[in-house]
Structure formats: C-alpha cells, structure tokens
Amino acid sequence: MDLNYIIAILAAGVVAGTPILYASLGEVIAERAGILNLGVEGMMLVGAVSAFYVGTFTEDKWLGLFVALIAGGLMALIHAVITINFRASQVASGLALTIFGTGLSAYLGRSLVGIPPTSTFKAVAIPVLSQIPILGKIFFNQDIMVYLSIILVAILWFVFYKTKAGLLLRAVGENPSAVDALGHNIFLIRYVAVIVGGMLAGAGGAYLSLAYSPSWIENMSAGRGWIAVALVIFAVWDPRRALLGAWLFGVIASLGLHLQALGVMIPSNFLQMLPYIFTFVILVITTRETKHRRSGTPAALGIPYSREER
C-alpha cells in the first residue's frame, strides 16, 4: 500500500467522520445540561431531508444547511417539552423522536428519491496549508463544513471550559438544584442546550445529504445517529475527544470501503459491519475506563428536574 493511498483513506475518513462529529457535539451539549437525547438518528434524518429539499430547489446549499439547523432544533424542541416540562423518561422520549423522525423524513422525502442535487459542498483547498506534505491533503483540502466542524470544536471547548455560560451549563448537568438556588433558570438552560444539540444533529444530517453523498435516500443516516450517541461516552463529554472519536470512526469506515479495492478477500457485508462492531467495542472499553476513573458522566444526566422534589 503506498503513501498516497493511505492519505486518501485518511482524508476520506475525515469526511466520513464529519456528520458524526456534528451530531456528537450536539449530544455533548445536551448531555452536559443533563438531558439524554436518543433522538439523534431521527433529528439527523429530518435535517438531511430538509437540507436536501431546500438546497436542491433553491440551488443554495447554505439555505439548505440553515433549514436543517431549524428542523433539527424543532425536533429537539419536542424532546425538550416532553422531558423537561412533562418529566417523562428521556430514553423513551428519545426513542419516540427517532421513530418519528424516521417516518417524517421518509414522508417528506418521498418525491426526492433519485433527484440529482443542484448545490453541494465541495472540497476547497486552503491556500498554503493545503501544501503541507501529507497533512495538507488530509485536513486542508476538504469542504467548508469540515473546516466549520473543526472551528466548532474549538469554540465549544472555549465556551465549556473558559466562560461562565459554559460553567453554568456543566453545573446544570452536575447539580441542578445548586444552580437553581443561585437564581438561574434550569428550565431555560436545559431548553437551550437540547435545542442547540438538535440543530447540530440537523447539521450532521445536512452534511450527509449535501456533502457526503449528495442525494436523499430513505434512512440514509444508517445508524450514524446512534454511533454519535455512543461516541459521546467515548469522548467523556469533551468536544476535543469527540473530534478524535469521530475521525477514528471515519477512518475505520473508509478503511472498510477501501480494503476490497486493495484485494482483501473479505465479503463486503462484513466490512459494512465493521463500524458498528468497532463502536460497540469502543463503548465497552471506554465505559470500563470511565467507571474506573469515576469521572466524566454528568451526575444529573437523565434525571428530570423538579423544584418541589429537590
């Protein structure tokens, strides 16, 4: 295997990891505020279908992305109402959101199947940086949404660990009654976190339908939303580790696709299983580690907050 081929696999890995990165970052935000949202898969699908619909008919990918953000946010709003106001099980509500989103996207996209895209995100080489040997081709010859996702990781890291808003967000997920006692509005903070999380899942969906494989196919996220949720545990709720996990996953996925081209005699179905098995193994290993270190998981994750029961 020559170097150029390895570079091509790694560059494709970054692309394959990007939709998962967006979704993972969104889930990190929601879970940091104490709300588990298993509806990522559904939010991604609705994001993907709305981005493709709007992007294709207006011939404007940016408008498509914008609408995907709104759609993802609205989907998350449903979860917020059910879990924050009605204090229902976050697991059950998230599952409902995924089921709902699968059906809604299939319904909305019924006339989009087979339609060619008119406006997509294409690779834009960054001057100078893209000339760096090896790294340039892997990281700096990508589409704008890849660059945006890297910037987003930096922003989130800064907000989480260097600002008061980030401190508040993390505190809500750790000890909501203490934050409440300080006079902050728990419900508002959780609402914002869940909705922003949904918007990012929508962006992940938009990446699928406008950049990764520009088209609409029913159920096109194919479990990536679930992989994103699993990666949050791997990331120990840290945006930087989410980036690492998403890219690692992306490389595994692209390796699977390229192995056959290299003449490795493994049936393609086994290669298709690879990312899911990999995520499963990563989930088991990191959970064991996290348990050992007794750190990471927001203490109030999954617990509805009620002022009278505090």
Partner 1 sequence: MKHKLLGSWEIKKTNTSSALKKFGISVTSIVLGLLFAGLFVLITGKDPLQLYGEILQSSVGSSYGFSETLVEMIPLAFCSLGVSLAFRMQLWNIGAEGQFYIGAFGASYFALFFSDLPKLIMLPLMVSAGFICGGLWALVPAIPKAFWNVNETISSLLLNYVAYFWMAYLVYGPWKDPKGNNFPLTKIFPDSATLPVFGNTRISYAIFLVVIIAVAIFLLIKYSKWGYEISVSGSSRKAADYAGMSYVKNVLMVMFLSGAISGIAGMAEVSGVLHRLQQTISPGYGYTAILIALLARLNPFSILLVSFLMGGLLVGGFSLQTSGFPSSMVSMFQGSILFFVLAGEVFNNYRLVRKKV
Which is nearest to 72 in space by CA: 39, 103, 94?
39
CB of 124 to partner 1, least distance (A): 33
Instruction: Give the DSSP per-residue string, the chain.
Output: --HHHHHHHHHHHHHHHHHHHHHHHHHHHHHHTT---TTHHHHHHHHHHHHHHHHHHHT-HHHHHHHHHHHHHHHHHHHHIIIIIS---HHHHHHHHHHHHHHHHHHHTTTTTTPPPSS---EEEPTTGGGSTTHHHHHSEEEHHHHHHHHHHHHHHHHHHHSHHHHHHHHHHH-HHHHHHTT--HHHHHHHHHHHHHHHHHHHHHHIIIIIS-S--TTTTTTHHHHHHHHHHHTTT-HHHHHHHHHHHHHHHHHHHHHHHTT----HHHHHHHHHHHHHHHHHHHHHHHHHHT-SS-TTTTPPP-GGG-
Shortest distance in whole angstroms from residue 123 CB to partner 1: 29
Q: Which amino acid is at 42?
A: G
Q: Which is nearer to partner 1, 137 or 190 (CB)?
A: 190
In the complex, what is the shortest distance from the CB of residue 37 to partner 1, in angstroms, rounded to a whole number? 12
Chain position carrying tokens 């010859």: 141
Q: Which is nearer to partner 1, 88 or 144 (CB)?
A: 88
Based on CB atoms, which residue is closest to partner 1, 11 or 231?
231
87 vs 162 by CB, closer to partner 1: 87
**Minimal distance in Å, beta carbon 258 to partner 1?**
18
Q: How far is the CB of 11 from partner 1 (least distance, A)?
A: 25
- 124/283 with CB nearer partner 1: 283
Q: Which is nearer to partner 1, 88 or 168 (CB)?
A: 88
For residues 205 and 264, give the distance between their C-alpha atoms in angstroms, rounded to a whole number.
31
- Beta carbons of 203 and 71 less than 8 angstroms apart: no
Q: By C-beta, is 11 or 201 nearer to partner 1?
A: 201
* CA pair distance 49, 272, nearest whole angstrom: 23
- What minimum distance in Å lies between the beta carbon of 224 and partner 1? 10
Distance, C-alpha 310 to centroid of its chain: 32
Nearer to partner 1, 57 or 276 (CB): 276
Tell the smallest beta-carbon distance from residue 187 to partner 1 (Å).
6
CB of 8 to partner 1, least distance (A): 25
Residues that bind partner 1 (CB under 8 A): 38, 42, 78, 81-82, 85-89, 91-93, 95-104, 106-108, 110, 185, 187, 218-219, 222-223, 226-227, 229-230, 233, 267, 269-270, 272-273, 276-277, 279-280, 283-284, 287-288, 291, 306-308
